[in-house]
């Protein structure tokens, strides 16, 4: 790795920013609009497995809301776009995921948070096309590069901000380096914002929140 740099929301340059004016898409299980840790969701859409599309972005699982809260913790001024691709469990098809990425870009997202992924190489082509479509419209996909050493898609695709989990990284800091492919790779803590009265080891945690932490910090840097 080369060209390592650290971004911390506690540094004066970033502490003065909030991500204001940056639209962040959360492609996940939806988001609970008005949740105390999330606030207002600017807009949202559901992508159905049958090709349907509607405005029901309500979260029936909780994963997307927790991810959105982690993003909001780092970028309180960003706008949130909920793109629901999951129904009652965290399972969907590569085609629906690809449509979610592209729809987020169509709706003006500058960052597309994917706290999810697949290790199946058969899905590379459809996800590469979606990432390319998003990039052409000015959207950056942020997602896991690997999980337990296993490469993930679309995180291993060129043009994506791949994220590695680093339990030693402070929660408010993101480290960005350049890998041998010339691609930017971020490392971040897997802990979300603390919940009063709940020990960190009992709170939700993991690569999903490392991705969200990176997305939130990047939103601050993109504030116009």
What is the pLDDT averaged over residues 191-202? Answer: 78
Q: What is the pLDDT of residue 54?
A: 97
Flag whether pLDDT at 202 surpasses 60: yes
Query: In CATH, what number is assigned to the domain containing residue 86?
Result: 3.40.50.200
User: How many C-beta atoms lie closer than 10 Å to residue 176's C-beta?
Assistant: 20
The closest of 150, 156, 147, 169 to 214, measured between CA atoms, is 169
What is the pLDDT averaged over residues 128-153? Answer: 97
Q: What is the pLDDT of residue 97?
A: 97
d(CA 17, CA 119): 36
What is the pLDDT averaged over residues 203-208? Answer: 88
Per-residue pLDDT tens for 63-99? 999 999 999 999 999 999 999 999 989 999 999 999 9
- What is the DSSP code string of 136-193? HTT-EEEEESEETTEE-BTTTSTTSEEEEE-TTS-TTEEEEEE-TTS-EEEEE-S--S
Contact 1, 179 (CB under 8 A): yes
What is the pLDDT averaged over residues 135-159? Answer: 96
Q: What is the pLDDT of residue 2?
A: 57
Range of the domain at 67: 2-221
Q: How many domains does the chain have?
A: 1
Flag whether pLDDT at 201 surpasses 80: no
Contact 92, 22 (CB under 8 A): no
| Better-predicted residue by pLDDT, 129 or 50 | 129
């Amino acid at each position: 790795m080369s060209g390592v740099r650290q971004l911390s929301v506690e540094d004066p340059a970033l502490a003065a920013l909030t991500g204001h004016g940056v639209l962040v898409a959360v492609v996940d299980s939806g988001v609970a609009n008005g949740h105390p840790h999330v606030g207002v969701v600017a807009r949202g859409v559901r992508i159905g497995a049958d090709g349907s599309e509607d405005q029901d972005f309500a979260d029936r699982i909780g994963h997307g809301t927790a991810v959105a809260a982690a993003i909001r913790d780092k970028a309180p001024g960003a706008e949130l776009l909920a793109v629901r691709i999951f129904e009652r469990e965290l399972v969907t098809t590569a085609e629906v995921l690809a449509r979610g990425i592209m729809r987020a870009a169509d709706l003006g997202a500058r960052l597309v948070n994917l706290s999810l992924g697949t290790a199946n190489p058969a899905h590379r082509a459809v996800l590469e096309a979606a990432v390319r479509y998003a990039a052409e419209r000015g959207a950056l996909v942020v997602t896991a590069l690997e999980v337990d050493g296993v490469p993930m898609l679309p995180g291993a695709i060129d043009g994506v901000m791949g994220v590695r989990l680093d339990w030693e990284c402070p929660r408010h800091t993101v480290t960005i380096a350049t890998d041998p492919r010339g691609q930017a790779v971020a490392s971040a803590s897997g802990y979300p914002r603390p919940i009063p009265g709940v020990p960190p080891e009992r709170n939700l945690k993991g690569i999903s929140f490392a991705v969200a932490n990176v997305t939130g910090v990047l939103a601050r840097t993109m504030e116009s």
